[in-house]
Structures are given as C-alpha cells and as structure tokens.
Structure 1
C-alpha cells in the first residue's frame, strides 16, 4: 500500500534522472535543440514517467510511440504533423500528444513543461 510519503512533489523531491541533451543530429531542423529533462517518477513497469522538461529555440523531427500529457509552464511551441497542419501552444496550455504522432516539435520561445508519459509497448 502506498502512503502520503510516496506522493512525488515536483521541485521538492529529488529527480530520478536529470539529463541535458540535444535532439540527435539526424532529426534536427534548426537551432541548437538544447533540452533538459528531470524525471521525478517512473512506475515499476517502466511504462509511466513524469517530470519537468525545458528546451531552447529550435526544431526537430519527432515520432511518438508513447502518449504524453503536457502542461506548458513557460514559452511557446508549435507542433506540425506530416501533412503540414500545426497547432501553436503557449504557457498555460494543457495538451496530449497521442502515440503515433509524427511531425516537427518547434520551440518558438524558450519553453518549460511538465510531462506525464505512458509508453504503450513495454
């Protein structure tokens, strides 16, 4: 049984992982694609993860095999699908990127978001 001590508070708990990275060169379209991720929680199956992500201005290709719920805390981003349709998101927006989405993730202004990811095929 889980207790109140098992509740993970972002910013108060120590992140399980803290990584700074760039999108792989073969996926980069523009900009430095600098990113950082602090994963605060992963479940015992390895399918569910939650944490904080931030990224600098740039654009890169994405192919989602997982479902991701996000809340944009700062900045602006644009997601464009392979047909060229796009949605622009700003601080305060809550959104889900479904598994199977392919396209471009573009950071228009330095951005920060919370994320909750469910990996479908694990």
Structure 2
C-alpha cells in the first residue's frame, strides 16, 4: 500500500525542482527564483489537530503506531535516528534530513545518537 510508505528526504536534494517566482502583484523587490522539491503530498484524512515543536531524546529504541489519521514529518537538527516499519522497510536520518511517517504506520523508532528534531504532526 503506497499510503503506508515511509518517505525520507533532505540535503542534498536530487531531481529537478519545481521552479516558481512570486506573483508580480506580491513583489516588493527583485524577482527571486524559488526551487521546490516536493517530497510528500497526501490527504489529511480528516485531520482535526496540528502539532509542531522541537523534540529531543537520548539513545533508545521503542515501538510506535500512528493512528488512522495521524501522520508526522520531522527534520533532524542534531543526532541520528532510524524508523523501522513492521514490513521491513527502514529510513535513517541525520542532520538536515527528514522522514515522513504516514497514517496507520506501525513499527519502531530508534535513536542512534542523542536526537533533536523539529516535528509536525497532523491528526
């Protein structure tokens, strides 16, 4: 099921970006080129809550289970981690890299080095 696929992304980016410029009626100065590499685009499945913040953890490994409408995207600021899916898939991330954990995902979260991340959760 593609809706349960973990997505990893971060720097350096690969592939061709979507290129855009600000709308002319919104310009204040210049005409900057903006490059976007979209990594995750998914329905919110009736999400009613949005959470975002900074999270830190010491080394450890534990089970996780996302609810049917709960999903998270986080970017590692410091340290390293792995997210393991019960189906055998694994995504690892370090500083500047991000992981998307989809709704209904079950598996485990492993902190390899003391971790700080910036997270966004929709539920």
Aligned residue among 82, 91, 94 for 2:95: 91
Matches within 5 A, 1:56-67: 56-65=58-67, 66-67=70-71
Q: Which has the higher strand share?
A: 1
Residue equivalent to 2:78: 74
Is the partner of 1:99 in helix, strand or coil? coil
Question: How far apart are 1:46 and its partner, in Å?
Answer: 6.0
Query: Which contiguous aligned blocks of 4+ residues in structure 1 show a shift greater than 6 angstroms?
Result: none
User: Structure 2: how far apart are the matches of 1:70 and 1:85?
Assistant: 18
TM-score, normalised via structure 1 length? 0.58
User: Structure 2: how far apart are the matches of 1:68 and 1:117?
Assistant: 4
TM-score, normalised via structure 2 length? 0.57
Question: How far apart are 1:99 and its partner, in Å?
Answer: 1.1
User: Structure 1: how far apart are the matches of 2:121 and 2:54?
Assistant: 11
Kindly tell me the number of residue pairs found equivalent between the two proteins.
75
Over the residues paired in the alignment, what is the CA RMSD in angstroms?
1.5
Is the partner of 1:100 in helix, strand or coil? coil
**Unaligned 5+ runs, structure 2:** 1-46
Is the partner of 2:103 in helix, strand or coil? coil
**Unaligned 5+ runs, structure 1:** 1-44
